[in-house]
Amino acid sequence: MTTPYGSYELTRFPEDPRDRLRAWDAADEYLLRHLDAGTGERGPVDLAGAGQITVLGDRWGALTTALAAYRPTQITDSSLTRSATAANLDRNGIGTSKATVTLLTTQDPPPEKIDVLLVRVPKSLALLEDQLHRLAPHVHAGTVVVGTGMVKEIHTSTLRLFERILGPTKTSLAEKKARLIFCTPSTPGTPGTPGTPGTPDAARPAAPGPWPVTYTVDEDAGYASGLTVVNHAGIFCADRLDVGTRFFLQNLPTNTDGARVVDLGCGNGVVGTAVQAHDPDAEVVFTDESFQALASARATYRANIREGRRTAEFHVGDGVAMLAPGSVDLVLSNPPFHSHQATTDATALRMFAQSRKVLRPGGELWIVANRHMGYHTHLQRLFGNSEVVASEPKFVILRAVKEDRPRPM
């Protein structure tokens, strides 16, 4: 990636030489050009004298790496982004050990005072809303706020969020199908309306956001019927069970019998919590690459499983890579088929391969997926078997069993 701040070698995480997707796009490049030279009537941003710089929603660390000389703070919901950023900093001879960059999660307290806020617009409008609410008390009237995203990612609702939570908002012309967002923070006026741009700094009260959202699962959801679900912002299908998860819950295995069970890509944790509620002796492990998801899963588990029961494990990271080989009896997953805006099965296939590694001989992987993904062929190749447990017009539940003898990878 060539920028006004230098040229950088960047990769996604985990690194895969077969991956044709870049670790940056035109939106990242557009923002970096603007910061250096300005866009339209807006001049360049003096980053050297700007004070505290916060980068929200950086995809793979492209923005953070390019601006590392200005000691930015990155805030991300993705543990893969966090790992990619650390790897890209090291790859370019920067490294976090030099205290050039601070890496925070969406669950961490933000910097006390933010002077430059750079926002890579996320796929989830709810996550953007939640984070703008969290950051608003730390933004002042002189803060430079610039957002960026591809044209297809920036909608009228996106601009309204910036306007409602921070202040007056405009957009740039499009370049290479990317667009910038310019927001002028204002001190708060009357509730529900923007304040006055350019007024003297004042304490900006934390406006309460709508997250997390809590709901009770209705009937016809298998072991999950009647459970309380807690969703932090950014979790898929926030106010109800999505159709695929409901179908999965209706067909979960019934013979866990104290098994070590992994809820892989757990989201709000309703699947793993349903297993624990049904089988108090089960040892449930929740894993997800999203910090928001792990916070949701913890909250869902606490809301339904009384204290004194077996304690579950919660891990944020790349699938089940953190678990020991041969340590798991059952993996349950509703695998994703998107990476940000890109449609890809790479994440799901990596999850399947990791699952086979951590399963004991005779252990099982159960997945629910859209029929069109054709995962049965991948499971057949990886496990040597694949069985349809249940199906309906849109979704299919597949089961694969790890054989006693290792298969060639």
- Looking up residue 150, the CATH number of its domain turns out to be 3.40.50.150
pLDDT, position 204: 52
Q: Are residues 222 and 101 in the same domain?
A: no
Of 197, 223, 249, the position where a domain reaches its end is: 197
Please tell me the distance from the alpha carbon of residue 238 to that of residue 249, in angstroms, as a whole number. 17
Residue 52 lies in a domain: yes
Q: Are residues 220 and 360 in the same domain?
A: yes
Number of domains in the chain: 2
pLDDT, position 17: 82
Q: Are residues 222 and 319 in the same domain?
A: yes
Please tell me the distance from the alpha carbon of residue 89 to that of residue 24, in angstroms, as a whole number. 14
**Backbone CA torsion sign across 8, 72, 83, 245:** negative
pLDDT, position 307: 76
Residue 207 lies in a domain: no
Show the low-confidence residues of the chain (pLDDT under 50): 189-203, 338-343, 407-409
Containing structural domain, residue 370: 213-401
Q: Are residues 67 and 136 in the same domain?
A: yes
Residue 110 lies in a domain: yes
Residue 202 lies in a domain: no
Of 162, 197, 232, the position where a domain reaches its end is: 197
- Answer for the pair 167, 137: CB distance below 8 angstroms, yes or no: no
Q: Are residues 254 and 302 in the same domain?
A: yes
Q: Nearest-CA neighbor of 81 among 111, 98, 118, 56? A: 56
Q: Are residues 239 and 388 in the same domain?
A: yes
Residue 85 lies in a domain: yes
pLDDT, position 345: 77
